[in-house]
Amino acid sequence: MKIRRSLVDRIVPCFASASVENNDFFSLSALLQKMNANCGSYDDITPLHTACELGNLEMIKFLLAKGASPHKVNRFGHCPFYMAIKNRRCHAVKLLLMKEVTVNLHPVRIAMEMIQAVQNRDYPLLHAWALSGVDMDTKDYDGRTVMHEAVYLRNKSMVTKLLEYGATPLEKDAWGQTAMDNAQHETEIMALFDPLFTVCCPTKEDYLLYKAHR
């Protein structure tokens, strides 16, 4: 009997996630009467993980109302919010941010993922990260930010987009170099930093004061 119950407990969450994939609210409602909304599959993937991965706003709202936790992590350490970001589901990201949900990843990991997005010129993914409310000046293990990488790649359009998202060229890496230091010989990129970062706010402290008084 215990073995049978254990099998049911493992199978029902899989059916629940399938219902989410099929946008089947009727079946999902019936399954949630037999299981906790936070129960996951063998990989600890909950219905909310699936809904966020797909960016199904109505399903996300439904599951949150049923008590699904946006902080529940799967076997890979990913919460539903991360699934929405990683799959570039910007509307879902904005919805979860309104619910005051945060990404439960270490800042270094966040920086590494955003830097990889810059390397891949993945503008939609970077947009999703920016919408999530993370600090766009988050640093990796070497103290490098997305702006360091964009300048290194001499990607003017990426630098422009990062400035729109609130990233700055003022953070120092492990060698004491800012992205603006690295851009000194890149005239077009330096023009993007002027005059806000070259004259008005030459340090991060100055920039934070500037933002606070806007």
- What is the pLDDT of the chain when averaged over all its residues? 91
Does the pLDDT at position 102 exceed 60? yes
What is the pLDDT, as a whole number, of residue 5? 46
Exposed/middle/buried for 87, CB within 10 Å: 0-12, 13-18, 19+?
middle
Q: What number does CATH give the domain 106-214?
A: 1.25.40.20
Q: Both tokens of residue 184?
A: 């000194």
Dump pLDDT digits (tens) for 34-79. 888 888 887 889 999 999 999 999 999 999 999 999 999 999 999 9
- pLDDT score recorded for residue 36: 86
Indicate whether 203 pLDDT > 50: yes
Residues 9-37 pLDDT 10s: 567 777 888 888 999 999 989 988 888 88
Please say if the pLDDT value at position 95 is more than 60.
yes
Which DSSP category does 197 fall into? I
Q: Directed axis angle between helix 47-54 and helix 90-98, to 10°?
A: 130
- CATH superfamily, domain at 1-104: Ankyrin repeat-containing domain (1.25.40.20)
Query: What local confidence, expressed as pLDDT, does residue 120 receive?
Result: 97
Q: How many C-beta atoms surround the C-beta of residue 100 within 10 A?
A: 8
* Contacts with 158 (C-beta within 8 Å, 6 or more apart), sequence order: 118, 121, 123, 150
How much is the CA Rg of the chain, to the nearest whole Å? 21
pLDDT on residue 210: 87
What is the pLDDT confidence band of residue 208, given thresholds at 50, 70 and 90?
confident
Domain ranges of the chain: 1-104, 106-214
Average pLDDT over residues 143-147: 98
Tokens of 131: 């919408």
> 123 pLDDT band (50/70/90 cuts)?
very high
Q: Hey, do 1-104 and 106-214 end up sharing a CATH topology, with the first three levels equal?
A: yes
